Amino acid sequence: MAAELVVMGLGHVGLPLSRAAVSAGLATAGYDVSRPVVHGLTDGRSHVGGVDDADVAAMLRAGFHATDDPAVLDGAQTVVICVPTGLTDKGLPDLSAVEDAAAVVAARLHPGMLVVLESTSYPGTTEDVVRPLLERGSGLRAGEDFHLAYSPQRIDPGNPTWDVRNTPKIVSGRTALCAKHAVAFYSRFVDQLVVARGTREAEMAKLLENTYRYVNIALVDEVALFCHETGIDIWDVLHCAASKPFGFAPFSPGPGVGGHCIPVDPRYLAARAESQGFAFRTLAAAQDVLSRMPDHVVERALAILTKTAGRPEGARALLLGVTYKPDVADIRETPARQVAAGLLAAGVEVSYHDPYVPQFTVGGTPLPRTENLRDALDRTDVAILLQDHACYARETLGRARCALLDTRGKAVGSRVTLL
C-alpha cells in the first residue's frame, strides 16, 4: 500500500515531522540516502535529539518505515523535502541535496501529488530551482498537474514547550490552489497555519527569523567586547536592560554561534542579495563580530594560563560543553571546535567534558574526554564554560580549584573570570 506521506530526509527536521504526522494518523514513510540512518530507524534507534528510541518504536508500531529505496514515493499523495542546505567550501549556498531530492521526486511524480519544500534556502529556490527540476523530470506542470508548496521548518531542538504541532507554521504555494492543498495537509497535525502571499515571501520570512537572531547576537557580543575593555559588567547590563517590558528583546553573548540555522541562513540571504546587486551591510558587520568571538575566548584563556601557570605551553584546559546549544546532543557548527583549535595551536593540552558528546574531534583528531567533572576540575589549570548544560551547577563551578573562564555568565567565585 502506498504511503499517504513520504518525508525525504530523516534528520533534525524530517524525523520530528514524521513523528507528528504518524501521531496524527497519516500513513507515513521516510526516505533517506544514508543507510546507517535507515538501518538505525528500522531497528528502533533514533539519531536525532528530541526524538528518542521510544518515539521511533511507537512510530514503527503505527506503520512508519524508513528506506533508501525511491520506489517508496510511488503513489504517495504528499512528499515533503527536508534535506539539509549547507554551505560550500567557499561559504556559498549548497543546494545539491535539494536538487538531488527534487530529481528523485520528479522521476516518481504523478498528477495530483503535493510536493512541499521545507529546507531553508534563499527566496526563489522553490520557484527557480525545485520547480524546473520537477517539471523537466516528470513532464508535468506545477500548479496545473501537481501542487508545489514551500513551508519553512521551525524545529527548535531540545525545546520542551514548542514542537511541530503547536508552533505556528508558515505555508505557501506556487498558486492559490497549491497553497490550499498545503494548508489541508498541514492542518492535519499543526494547530496554527500562517499563509504567506507566495513562496518567496515564505522563504524570506524564514531567513529573516534567523538573521534577526544572528544580528542581535552579534550586537550583544560586541557590547560584551566593549564592556570587557572598559571594565563594565556585561551580565549586569543585560539583567538591567531585560527588565524593560517593551522595545527590548534579550540576547546573551557567548563564545560564538553554532547549529545549522544561525551560522548558515544569513549567508543564504547575503549570497542571494549579492547576486542581485544588493549588499547587506548589517550582515557583513555581524559576521565580522561573530567570527571573532571564539578567538576572543582563546585570548582570554591564554591570558589566564599565563597568569596562573606561567605560560600556556604545556598547561591544561578543560572545555565544558562542546555542543552548540544547552542540553542538546548537537555539535553542528559549534564554536567549541575553533576554541579548541586555537588553544592547541598555542601548545595547550585540551580535553573536554560533555555528557551529550561521546567523541569530539578537532582537525580530525579526537580530544580526550573526561566523565568525572569534579576530578577533571581538580586536574586542569583552566576550565572554560562554553555551554550552559544543566549539569554545570553554579555551586560546583564556583567552588572549582582551577581558574574558570565563564562565557555564559553563570558562575560566581574568586577564581571565576567572566567573558
Q: Is the pTM for the entire model greater than 0.75?
A: yes
Owning domain of residue 110: 5-197
Based on the domain organization, do 306 and 390 belong to the same domain?
Answer: yes
What integer pLDDT is reported at residue 1 of this predicted model?
A: 66
Cα separation, 192 vs 329, in Å, equals 29
Based on the domain organization, do 170 and 280 belong to the same domain?
Answer: no
Residue 238 belongs to a domain: yes
Residue 48 belongs to a domain: yes
Cα separation, 148 vs 117, in Å, equals 8
Based on the domain organization, do 53 and 148 belong to the same domain?
Answer: yes
Based on the domain organization, do 258 and 406 belong to the same domain?
Answer: yes
Residue 244 belongs to a domain: yes
What integer pLDDT is reported at residue 309 of this predicted model?
A: 85
Q: Which three cell numbers stand for residue 411?
A: 558562575
Residue 203 belongs to a domain: no
Residue 204 belongs to a domain: no
Based on the domain organization, do 253 and 303 belong to the same domain?
Answer: yes
What integer pLDDT is reported at residue 367 of this predicted model?
A: 97
CATH number for the domain spanning 258: value is 3.40.50.720
The last residue of a domain, from among 167, 197, 227: 197
pLDDT tens, position by position, for the chain (419 residues)? 689 999 999 999 999 999 999 999 999 999 999 999 999 999 999 999 889 999 999 999 999 999 999 999 999 999 999 999 999 988 889 999 999 999 999 999 999 999 999 999 999 999 999 999 999 999 999 999 999 999 999 998 888 899 999 999 999 999 999 999 999 999 999 999 999 999 999 999 999 999 999 999 999 999 999 999 999 999 999 999 999 999 999 999 999 999 888 889 999 999 999 999 999 999 999 999 999 999 999 999 999 999 988 889 999 999 999 999 999 999 999 999 999 999 999 999 999 999 999 999 999 999 999 999 999 999 999 999 999 999 999 888 988 889 999 999 998 888 898 98
The conformational region for residue 42 under phi > 0 = left, psi -120 to 50 = alpha, else beta, is alpha
Residue 252 belongs to a domain: yes
Alpha carbon separation from 144 to 52, 176, 177, 369 (Å, rounded) = 40, 11, 9, 57
Cell 580549584 sits at which residue? 401
The tally of domains found in the chain comes to 2
Coil, helix or strand at residue 255: coil
Closest alpha carbon to 15 in 63, 64, 62? 64
Residue 158 belongs to a domain: yes
The last residue of a domain, from among 197, 222, 250: 197
Instruction: State what percent of residues in the chain have pLDDT above 90.
Output: 89
Q: Which residues pair with 8 in a beta bridge?
A: 31, 81
Based on the domain organization, do 91 and 9 belong to the same domain?
Answer: yes
The last residue of a domain, from among 197, 220, 239: 197
Based on the domain organization, do 408 and 368 belong to the same domain?
Answer: yes
Based on the domain organization, do 135 and 268 belong to the same domain?
Answer: no
Catalytic residues: 261
Based on the domain organization, do 187 and 219 belong to the same domain?
Answer: no
Based on the domain organization, do 191 and 241 belong to the same domain?
Answer: no
Q: What are phi and psi of 370, to 5 degrees?
A: -115, 145
Residue 16 contacts by C-beta under 8 Å, 6 or more apart in sequence?
Answer: 48, 50, 51, 155, 163, 164
Based on the domain organization, do 141 and 177 belong to the same domain?
Answer: yes
Q: Which three cell numbers stand for residue 369?
A: 574526554
Based on the domain organization, do 150 and 252 belong to the same domain?
Answer: no
Residue 304 belongs to a domain: yes
